[in-house]
Copies of this chain bind each other. A is one copy, B any other.
Amino acid sequence: MIEKTIRMNYLYDFYQSLLTNKQNHYMKLYYLDDWSLGEISEHFDVSRQAVYDNIKRTEALLEEYERKLQLFLKYEQRQKHFNTLKVMVQENESPDRIVQIVGLLEELE
């Protein structure tokens, strides 16, 4: 569950600009502000089921965007390369090997 929450936070961060205002609002309250389904449904005066359905659909939509654009996956790969790069620079690795890692990073659009 915590893993899913972390993933949804990332996906929401990457793709929130593609969501509608309502989708954005529910997701922000549920995932970022940690409101319960009950609190959201009470606040908007809609059924708990309606909030649940909306959030489930938005989660599926975010996964669909990730399947198509892979922004989160590429972000993770880049972070990994950045860490390798920093260690290599600090340890005074040969310029050729460092440039090789930069090349790998460049390929990750």
Could you tell me which A residues sit within 8 Å of B by CB distance?
13-15, 17-18, 65, 68-69, 71, 75, 78-79, 82, 85-86, 89-90, 92, 95, 98-99, 102, 105-106, 109
Pick from B65, B102, B109: contact of A14, CB under 8 Å: B109
Query: Which secondary structure dominates chain A's binding surface?
Result: helix
**In the complex, A14→B65 CA distance in Å?**
13
Chain B hits for A71, CB < 8 A: 69, 71, 109
5 contacts between A and B (CB under 8 A): A78-B105, A78-B106, A86-B99, A89-B89, A90-B95
Are B102 and A98 in contact, CB atoms less than 8 angstroms apart? Answer: no
In the complex the two chains form, is B98's CB within 8 Å of A89's CB? yes
Docked complex Cα distance between A81 and B14 (Å)? 21
Q: How far is the CA of A96 from the CA of B63 in the complex (A)?
A: 38
